Structure 1
Amino acid sequence: MAGERVLLVGGGGREHAIGERLVSHGAVLGVAASNLNPGLLSLTKDSGGEFFKANPTSPQEVLEVAKKFKAELVVIGPEEPQFRGVTDALRAAGFTVFGASSKASEIEKSKVFARSIMKKYNIPGNLDFWFFESWEEAIEFLERAGNVAIKPARQAGGKGVKVISDVQAYLSEEKKKVKEEHAKRILTEVMAKYTDIKEKLLIEEKVDGVEYTVQAFTDGERVVPLPAVQDNPHLFVYDVGPETGGMGSVQGPGKLLPFITEEEYKVAVEILERVVEAIAKETGEKYVGAISAQMMLTTKGPVLIEFYSRLGDPEAVNVMNVVEGNVLEAMFEAAQGNLKTELGVREAASAVKCIAPMGYPERRDLTKGREVLVPECEGAKVYYASVDVKDGKLVSGGSRAVEVYAEGKSISEAAEKANACASKVKFVNWKSVWRPDIGGEWYIRRRSEVAELMRSVWGLR
């Protein structure tokens, strides 16, 4: 596969990690992104490829880039290009594409579609759910709802999710107001810019437990799972604050996490296998590309929180570094509908720390255009994410700017190395926000305790 011309769509930390891995297998890398990611720019130069400034969600622009680059394989990194028909346009023009079609990517785009298809095909791990198209429909239900998770019905980059416990009778009126206010915010702010989906609000039964994600490659029939990773969506230490696109992730050592068993891993793999089969039946199209199951180990056992129609970010940074085997070959085979390559995993543990400007994720107007200073780090690697180069300076794009990766014999050792580097990433005249607790000894111990509690209750059911 050496010398194959591969066009990578997207310009974030996930794409930097994917691009690095593809180049390691000998790919000549092209990149189509709206931001000038210095990590990806360097990879294109080193491999003899080319960086194209283009809107990654525009089918027409990406198609023009693919033609100009003479791509032999196109890899779609983020979800939005899939939702907006980029994959469809490329395939229609004869390109070989690793990425879900617009129909298949509904599994992430529409949380209602995902829950409904699990219910229809009796796929394990589903939750009770209710969906609404308007505030008027939702208000009556919210007045009598108990413990619930309130979400945008569409994938919105991790924004708008709120989990509410309503167990104290003396606070029931206050909790009802919180539910109603948050639901209105989702409808008027988060979902206002999306016109490509009918359902606006999703309400699910609330569950507690330990989250984990299993990602996979598929050609629409065979599913090749990757090692389990745990992402951490909360902004601040000790899992508090608003939910984000992910503030850091841990993996290993090896295929499992210290607090997740082989059986729990296999449940996630089964869900992925069955949903890939169900999508083909439901849409008439094979699911081709990466697919991920974000899971939670609860008192009901492992349940599905949501699907991704791509690799996670930052979870991709972990797996692209520890997976054994030829990732380029696996992607090319999957895109051709003939996935045969086996992918293993090194017996290493890893940790990723995401660094964002203070104000993320709620005040992106304050987080854009901040100059970023990234140090040289020993024992860790830096992946560039939501950044751009302007007037010779590295500036933030409003989201997580840098993702720091490190390995160790244990997650705690890897996290310590990542922390040493993350602490040196600075924004000029602005504060940063990141999670030094992710992967630490308290973190592992706490999740192990919660997981054991969930299993003990689940075993009594």
Structure 2
Amino acid sequence: MRIGLIGSGGREHALARVLAHSPHPERLVVYSNTPNPGIRPLAGEWIKGSLNDAQAVARAMRAAHVDLVVVGPEAPLNAGAVDALRAAGIPTVGPTQSQARLEGDKFFMRDLLQRRVGWGAPQWCLARSRAEVLSFLDVVGEAAVKPLGLTGGKGVQVMGVHLRDAQEAAAYADTWIQKDGSVLLEERLVGEEFSRMAFATDSGVFPMPVAQDFKYAYEGDQGLMTGGMGAYTLADGGMPFLLPEELAEADRLMVETLAALAEETGQPYRGMLYGQFMVTARGVRLIEYNTRFGDPEAINLCALLESDGVELFSALAAGSLQVGQVRFAPQASLVKYLVPQAYPGPLPGDVYFDFDAARARQAGFELIVSSAALEEGRWKALGSRALALVGLGEHPGALCEKLEALLSEMEPPELRHRRDIGAYATLETKTARMRALRPVL
């Protein structure tokens, strides 16, 4: 088989490893706007093109005679790449353009849930003026301010974290109102976030192990939001702070959402659905949906996947996936991104660094390339999250200690990472926090 992969980030490098290591593909054809030096050795062909041009994506994949396409990032999904590819007769993993609105239009998502599902959401408001912002804050106290469209995880700001008071929140909200005409406000939730992803298709919804992403730039959840500094999973597929009935509640909400989306669009969903949830003293609440793999969580999950990737994604695209085709290793995983010192801000200039991938592999960690180039044997940061390291083991705490020992000796001074991701102390703190919150019920 000839397999097409759309995208060039860390998530796509992880997917490329899954697809290239299958016994089925004859050739992996990658389409992206920039080359990824981690993907290039795995790909038989690389095609440069815009991720926002759905017709260009379809023309390139048709010309490459691919038998299946897997779409990685959100931009081509929202541009209608899946619609164009299927119209060209190519089986494709990913939601249609109308289904991708679940991620690309936050008001659409909240409105759909309110009309067709009726539970699981925080209090929210679509504000079109500063006065409406302040009126909502009078009701809920503290809130998260969310731009309506795609911002790569960096547009959300939260009162008590980034915004000091109602006036500062209203001023930030007003910048988006001036730009987009409106902004989404949601009550600030208190609890623990977790990521639940699933393969969703005509034949059912197949959950993956739960992950926890660390979105803030600095340790202790300080600093600005990022695309995600790393994530961990546990060997049992759950979270240390999450009760079985709470996870079942999240799964039920995802199933009901997919049913509502099918009713709304009249189309079967054939792709990945990523629910970002928070467990609170009042139960599980949905923060947002993404209609593709999360990043960094995809790196964890692809490392754990034991299924034949081509067989799995072919069945997903055909609507015929079965339980026996979805298998994950019963191990814990840990991913940490190495990012430029200035991230998520702009780079002060060219940032070159050295990194010994072979030494990391000998220690049990695979290198995933995200936003970095190789120039004459040296790495060059391209502005976002540069490299990720992923490892598997018995517990994320042990993996964290092992990785920290390695990075203390070999992390480039031009890069930094969060030492607290997956640490024993971090997981204990999160578990204790939820134990203290639950008696409020």
* Common fold: TM-score over 0.5: yes
Instruction: Pick one of 310, 325, 330 that aligns with 2:292.
Output: 310
Q: 2: distance between equivalents of 1:457 and 1:229?
A: 25
Aligned to 2:9: 12
Q: Is the CA contact 1:130–1:202 (under 8 Å) kept in the aligned structure 2?
A: yes
Query: What is the one-letter code of the residue matched to 1:99?
Result: G
Q: How big is the shift at 1:75?
A: 0.3
**48, 60, 72: which one aligns with 1:77:** 72
Q: Percent identity?
A: 30
> In the aligned structure 1, how far is the partner of 2:407 from the partner of 2:175?
33
Query: Partner of 1:115 in structure 2?
Result: 110
Return 414-423 or 442-451, whichever deviates more: 414-423
1:164 aligns with 2:159: yes
Give the corresponding residue for 2:355. Answer: 374
- Structure 1 residues 260 and 371: alpha-carbon distance in aligned structure 2, compared to 1, 3 A threshold: same
State the one-letter code of the partner of 1:202: L
Which residue of the partner structure matches residue 265 of structure 1?
247
Note closer, same or farther for the CA distance 1:330–1:124 as it changes in structure 2 (3 Å cut): farther
Q: 1:91 to 1:424 in 2, by over 3 A?
A: farther
Given the superposition, is the C-alpha separation of residues 420 and 50 from structure 1 closer, same or farther in structure 2, using an over 3 Å criterion? Answer: farther
Matches within 5 A, 1:145-156: 146-156=141-151
Cα 1:372–1:37, aligned 2, differ >3 Å: closer, same or farther?
Answer: farther
Code of the residue aligned with 2:251 in structure 1: it is: V
The residue number in structure 1 matching 2:219 is 237
2:14, 2:368 within 8 Å by CA — same for their partners in 1?
yes
Question: C-alpha displacement at 1:303, in angstroms?
Answer: 0.9
In the alignment, the residues of structure 2 paired with residue 17 and residue 215 of structure 1 have an alpha-carbon distance, to the nearest angstrom, of: 16
In the alignment, structure 1 residue 452 sits paired with structure 2 residue 435: yes
Counterparts of 1:128 and 1:221 in 2: how far apart (Å)?
33
Provide the C-alpha distance between the structure 2 equivalents of 1:305 and 1:112, rounded to a whole number of angstroms.
12
Contact 1:147 / 1:164 at 8 angstroms: preserved in 2? yes
Do residues 409 (structure 1) and 397 (structure 2) align?
A: no
CA pair 417-381 structure 1, distance change in 2 beyond 3 A: farther
What amino acid sits opposite 1:451 in the alignment? M
CA distance in 2, matches of 1:143, 1:262: 35
- What is the identity, as a one-letter code, of the residue corresponding to 1:417? K
Amino acid across the alignment from 1:33:
S
Question: Could you report, residue by residue, the CA deviation over 1:420-444 in whole angstroms, capped at 9, with x for unpaired residues?
Answer: 44456656xx732310111111101
> Could you say which residue in structure 2 is the equivalent of 1:297?
279
Distance in 2 separating the partners of 1:292 and 1:400:
21
Q: Matched residues in 1 for 2:54 and 2:101: separation?
A: 17
Q: Does 1:388 align with 2:373?
A: yes
Q: Summarize the Cα distance change of 1:424–1:106 in structure 2 as closer, same or farther, 3 Å threshold.
A: farther
Q: TM-score, normalised by structure 2?
A: 0.92
* Separation of aligned partners in 2, 1:76 and 1:351: 24
Q: Report SS of the residue matched to 2:97.
A: coil
For 1:169, the equivalent position in structure 2 comes to: none
Distance in 1 between the 2:15 and 2:402 partners?
Answer: 22
SS in 2 for 1:75: strand
Deviations 1:380-439 (A, max 9, x none): 111000123456643222110111111221110112233344456656xx7323101111
Equivalent-residue separation in structure 2 for 1:275 and 1:81 (angstroms): 22
State the Cα RMSD in Å: 2.3
Q: Say if 1:186 and 1:435 are closer, same or farther in 2 by CA, change over 3 A.
A: farther
Partner deviation per Cα, 1:185-220 (whole Å, 9 max, x = no partner): 4446xxx4xxxxx66411001111111111011114
Q: Normalising to structure 1: TM-score of the pair?
A: 0.88
Query: How many angstroms apart in 2 are the aligned matches of 1:14 and 1:420?
Result: 25
Which amino acid is 1:382 matched to? L
Contact 2:117 2:257 in 1 (8 A): no
| Aligned counterparts, 1:128-147, within 5 A | 128-133=123-128, 138=133, 141=136, 146-147=141-142
Partner of 1:106: 101
Asked if the contact 2:134/2:166 (under 8 Å) is kept, the reply is no
Structure 1 range deviating more: 370-379 or 147-156: 370-379
Q: 1:139: Cα distance to partner?
A: 5.5
Residue correspondence of structure 1 range 23-42 to structure 2 within 5 A: 23-26=20-23, 27=25, 28-42=27-41
- Specify whether residues 8 and 200 from structure 1 end up closer, same or farther in structure 2 by C-alpha distance, changes over 3 A only: farther
Q: Do structure 1's residue 329 and structure 2's residue 314 form an aligned pair?
A: no
Give the paired residue count.
Answer: 433
The separation in 2 between residues aligned to 1:153 and 1:416, in whole angstroms, is 39
Unaligned runs of 5+ in 2: none
Where in structure 1 are there 5+ consecutive unaligned residues?
A: 167-171, 193-197
* One-letter amino acid matched to 2:64: F
Aligned to 2:327: 344
Alpha-carbon spacing, 1:281–1:351, altered in 2? closer, same or farther (3 Å): same
